[in-house]
Amino acid sequence: MTIPHPGPSDEPAGETAPKLRVIPLGGCGEIGMNMTAIEYDGEILIVDCGHMQPEDDMPGVDLVIPDTSYLEERREKIHGIVLTHGHEDHIGGLPYIIPKLQCPVFGTRLTLALAEAKLEEYKLGAVQDLREARCREPLRFGPFTVEWISVTHSIPDASALLIRTPMGIIVHSGDYKMDLSPVLGEPFDFHALTTVGEERALLLLADSTNVERSGRARSEAAVRPALERYFQEAEGSIILATFSSALHRIQICFDLAEQYGRKVFLSGLNMERNIRIARNLGFLKINEETLAPLKQYPQHPREKRIVLTTGSQGEPLSGLMRMSLDDHKQVQVEPGDTVLLSARIIPGNERAIGRMINHFFRRGANVVTERQDAIHASGHANADEMRMLLSLVRPRFVAPVHGEVRHQLEHKRLLHDAGVPEENVFILDNGSVLEFGPDQTARVLEEKISASRVLVDGVMEDVHEVVLRDRMHLAEDGLVLVLLTIDRKTAQLLAEPEIISRGFVYMEESEELIAELKGVVLEAFNETEKESREEWLVVREAVRRAVRRYTKKQMQRFPIILPVVTEI
């Protein structure tokens, strides 16, 4: 049943007439942390609630979430959060933000199940209010009516959103590509978007991620032939690393494993969780005989094994990195094994991935990345698909979102070439307020709202709390700085460790203790495998654990321990 939606406003023009405002709180000028508030006459609807991974200059930070202080002050006016799909950069902020806003969350089946699992992980089952939405079945939220429209992406059950307001239709593209042969889920709903184009949307909020890539994005189905060659030719075990949400790729992996008589072993908690959820909902079709527990991996012939794992970005503590270092409990890489990194190499991770690949080559494995073969397909639209979306929706105004500044500006150039007047394209920052008047005029207000990043460390939010916690720790237990200088070629120490204490012990009167600490550090370093010493984080963590155990056992003290490794 179709729910009646508000038509164009009959309110008189003027300063007192209701205004429609679009306020990005995350996802503009960056990739990640997607969250947008849509406000009409004080009533608010929120699109997505994501997080972002910390950047290099955020040591000790677990993740970054949007600043919701503007929304918290208007909590009673919020009708809910509507989700486009189940990726972390669109749902990852829910455990931190739902307790503050206490509003319902709406999404399609798989999206909602992943959000529920995320909230359960943080023991927030008691505060969640999750409500399922179905594509093409509009839901009314005060002055807004929202309709989920099926699109294709790297995860099934992804949607664009049609948000009808008293001033016109806002189309939020979500993350999308126009995949004509998706492996899982519903096809791209061209008809629904064409219907919107006949009405002519007021505003299109459009994904900008792949605007620099010409043509069309590769179909998920097109990845199968490339992967199949390795299933045919691999004489040893196959280790396939991909994102835990890449369910299309995961289905292909299981189909090929069944076809070529291989057992699939899962590594990674998120991988196991997402596969379980997708199977329970019927998105993944898996033959039970193809799946085997990881503990049984050593018992199967090499030519009959495939490991499906996360860790494709070279994360230091991931299972894949441990496999590359020969430090995994069940999986030992042998000469002739094949490692397939079936995921995009995210900018900034090249060095870590390169080191991991080197470790695999030392084990005698053959490593293949997306840059060598077509074993990965992006989930985002390329330039031609962006032009197609524009022609379907026919918006009066466009705001490129979901991208860094260069992506937004390149998207603006694409729109200009496609005939959209320059004054009808808005490059928004987080905190910008795009306002529409009753006569469908649009402007970005000079005054921005607070939309700073909130840094999360464990259960603590906001960098100020992190600073306070560190100051209290330093005041109570002090700091032990361990300096290690390593020869880059030999991976050996060039000098004995240097220990510096601040607020822990008075060094001039603690020579015996400092000497014992140096011995603890040397022992921890010598117990670290030579190959592992190339990974600074591994060495630092080994030293930190050893010094922590010693100070706890001998002194019942818990100083901040900061190992610093320098390569020469």
Residue-by-residue DSSP string for 443-505: EE-SSPPP--EEEEETTEESHHHHHHHHHHHHHHH-EEEEEEEE-TTT--BSS--EEEEESS-
Judge residue 74's burial from the number of C-beta atoms within 10 Å of its C-beta, 0-12 exposed, 13-18 middle, 19 or more buried.
middle
Q: How far apart are CA 368 and CA 338, in angstroms?
A: 8
Query: How many CB atoms within 10 Å of residue 163?
Result: 25
The two structure tokens encoding residue 341? 């990194």
**Would residue 157 show up in a list of annotated catalytic residues for this protein?**
no
pLDDT of residue 6: 43
Q: Identify the pLDDT of residue 10.
A: 43
Give the pLDDT of residue 13. Answer: 47
Q: How confident is the model at residue 355 (pLDDT cuts 50, 70, 90)?
A: very high
Integer Cα distance of 204 and 174 in angstroms = 10
- The interaxial angle of helices 109-121 and 269-280, nearest 10 deg, is 140
pLDDT at position 460 over 90: no
Catalytic residue among 48, 175, 207, 255: 207
pLDDT above 60 (res 471)? no
Average the pLDDT over 148-170 and give the result.
Answer: 97
**Mean of pLDDT values over 223-235:** 95
Under a CB-based contact definition with an 8 Å cutoff, are residues 374 and 226 in contact?
A: yes
| Tokens standing for residue 335 | 């000469």
Q: Which residues of 7-45 are buried (b: 16+ CB within 10 A; e: fewer)?
A: eebeeeeeeeebbbbbbbbbbbbbbbbbbbbbbbbebbb
| CB 222, CB 261: distance < 8 Å | no
Q: Are strands 130-132 and 105-107 parallel, antiparallel or unpaired?
A: parallel
More confident residue, 95 or 511: 95
**Is 50's pLDDT higher than 60?**
yes
Q: What is the mean pLDDT of residues 263-280?
A: 96
Residue 62: pLDDT band (50, 70, 90) is confident
To 10 degrees, what angle do helices 383-393 and 190-199 make? 50
**What is the mean pLDDT of the segment spanning 159-188?**
97
pLDDT in tens, 380-409: 999 999 999 999 999 999 999 999 999 999
CB 178 within 8 A of CB 153: no
Residues 91-143 have pLDDT tens digits of 999 999 999 999 999 999 999 999 999 999 988 877 789 999 999 999 999 99
For residue 289, which of 259, 314, 319, 318 has the smallest C-alpha distance? 259
Q: Round to whole Å and give the CA distance between 55 and 63.
A: 9
Res 16: pLDDT: 73
Is the confidence at residue 452, as pLDDT, over 80? Answer: yes
| Predicted pLDDT at 548 | 85
Using a 10 angstrom Cβ sphere, with 0-12 exposed, 13-18 middle and 19 or more buried, the burial of residue 109 is middle
How far is the C-alpha of 433 from the C-alpha of 444, rounded, in Å? 6
Angle at which helices 511-527 and 536-555 cross, to 10°: 140
Average pLDDT over residues 229-234: 95
Structural domains in the chain, sorted by start? 20-215+379-457 (3.60.15.10), 220-369 (3.40.50.10710), 478-567 (3.10.20.580)
Note the pLDDT of residue 330.
Answer: 94
Spatial distance between the Cα atoms of 305 and 166, rounded to a whole number of angstroms: 58
Across 96-110, 114-128, 324-338, 534-548, least confident range: 534-548
CA 281, CA 144: separation in Å to the nearest integer? 29
Residue 506's pLDDT band (boundaries 50, 70, 90)?
low
Q: Is the pLDDT of residue 466 over 80?
A: no
The pLDDT-based confidence of 9 (bands split at 50, 70, 90) is: very low
Q: Which phi and psi angles does 460 have, rounded to 5°?
A: -95, 140
Q: How far apart are the C-alpha atoms of 50 and 84, rounded to whole Å?
A: 11
Residue type at position 501: S
Half-sphere exposure (Cβ direction) of 47: Cα atoms closer than 13 Å: 30
368 Ramachandran zone, left/alpha/beta (phi>0; psi -120 to 50): beta
SS3 159: strand
Q: Average pLDDT of the chain?
A: 90
Amino acid at 135: C
Beta bridge partners of 66: 453
User: How far apart, in whole angstroms, are the C-alpha atoms of residue 517 and residue 40?
Assistant: 63
- What does the DSSP assignment read for 403-450? B-HHHHHHHHHHHHHTT--GGGB--PPTT--EEE-TTS-EEE-SSPPP
Q: What pLDDT, on a 0 to 100 scale, did the predictor assign at position 1?
A: 32
Q: Which residue has the higher pLDDT, 532 or 408?
A: 408
* pLDDT of res. 406: 96
**263-267, strands of its sheet edge to edge:** 291-292, 263-267, 305-309, 238-241, 338-341, 366-369
Query: Mean pLDDT throughout 531-541?
Result: 78
- To the query of whether residue 380 is one of the catalytic residues in this protein, the response is yes
- Collapse the DSSP code of 385 into the 3-class scheme (helix H, G, I; strand E, B; otherwise coil) and give the result: helix
Query: Which position among 380, 402, 407, 411 bears the catalytic label?
Result: 380
Confidence band of 59 (pLDDT split at 50, 70, 90)? low
How many other CB atoms are there within 10 angstroms of residue 491's CB atom?
17
DSSP H helical segments within 109-151, as ranges? 109-121
Instruction: Please report, rounded to a whole number, the percentage of residues in the chain having pLDDT higher than 70.
Output: 92
pLDDT confidence tier of residue 467, bands split at 50, 70 and 90: low
